[in-house]
Amino acid sequence: MKIGVFSTFMSPLATPRMIRDFGRQAEEMGLDSIWMGEHVVLFDKNTFRYPSSKDGRIPVPEGGGMLDVTATFGFLAAATTKLRLGTGVALVPQRNPIYTAKEMCTLDWLTDGRIDFGIGVGWNKEEVEACGYTWEDRGARCDEFLEVMRRLWTEPVVDFNGKWIQFETCRLDPKPIQKPHVPIIVGGYAPPAFRRAVRFGAGWYGFNLDPAAAKGMLQRLDAAFAKAGRTRGKDFEIIITPPVAMPIDAMQGYAELGVDRVIVNLGSQRPERVDRRMAEIETLVKLAA
């Protein structure tokens, strides 16, 4: 089982020096990967609660905000040589799929194939609408956008006539280093997310799940594979981020489920807490070796 770390870098704590040093430390201690969440704008009032906090709000520092994942990964890529970089998750239904395809294959090219494209449909209605899209059809739009990206990554010339995207004789280069393309890791717990994982995914990502909850979700994933007339193969990765408060010594349960990668939540980015948390994660790396 490989060990990575989830850290949504936030200003003002995530300075260039902090991110560079963090990336180098993560690589030196043998971590597999760094994963980042994504939100481009935040709102004082939301229709739906943020599912991973007690008060339903994204915990950002006073006067700060979340850094852009694409730019931050470019910065981290220049500071590292082996560490994989994963979006956890990119909010595909509110992104332009052509720009996203270009960004991800460029990152894959510049990192020599170190990018994992974790995707989801998101929970923040206001953010989707601010980006110029409608909320209710975000699932269908996600599927169409993924198909656009997959074809642009793998075909020399693409014609596409969808509901949201139409173009003719379109070329996107360079192609990704990884084949057949940048791995698509699908996140989400609803039936459409599992169907999406079966259709598009090289893996499935579960966030904030303890081993018992992860086991239940894997049963639902396998049911989706069975409904499609398929069986989940060994090359289909299972990636889990445990609850932030879960003890390090309780994580063996994921290995027993066949989880491929555990992405431990860094939590607070205050320097003293980062040091303490990274020491805990290093212990887990040694236990998993």
What's the confidence (pLDDT) of residue 281? 95
What's the confidence (pLDDT) of residue 287? 86
98 C-beta neighbours (distance < 10 Å), count: 17
What's the confidence (pLDDT) of residue 57? 78
234 C-beta neighbours (distance < 10 Å), count: 7
What's the confidence (pLDDT) of residue 64? 87
What's the confidence (pLDDT) of residue 63? 83
What's the confidence (pLDDT) of residue 121? 97
What's the confidence (pLDDT) of residue 266? 95
- Can you list the residues of the chain whose pLDDT is less than 70? none
What's the confidence (pLDDT) of residue 249? 85
Rounded Cα–Cα distance for residues 114 and 73 (Å): 10
Task: For residue 9, give the CATH number of its domain.
Answer: 3.20.20.30
Rounded Cα–Cα distance for residues 109 and 240 (Å): 26
Condensed to tens digits (0 to 9), the pLDDT of residues 211-261 reads 999 999 999 999 999 999 999 999 999 999 999 999 988 899 999 999 999
Type of residue numbered 49:
R
Separation in Å, CA 237 to CA 34, 74, 132, 201, 263: 16, 24, 33, 9, 13
pTM, two decimals, is 0.96
Rounded Cα–Cα distance for residues 54 and 74 (Å): 32
As for how many domains the chain has, the answer is 1
Segments forming the whole domain that contains residue 176: 2-288
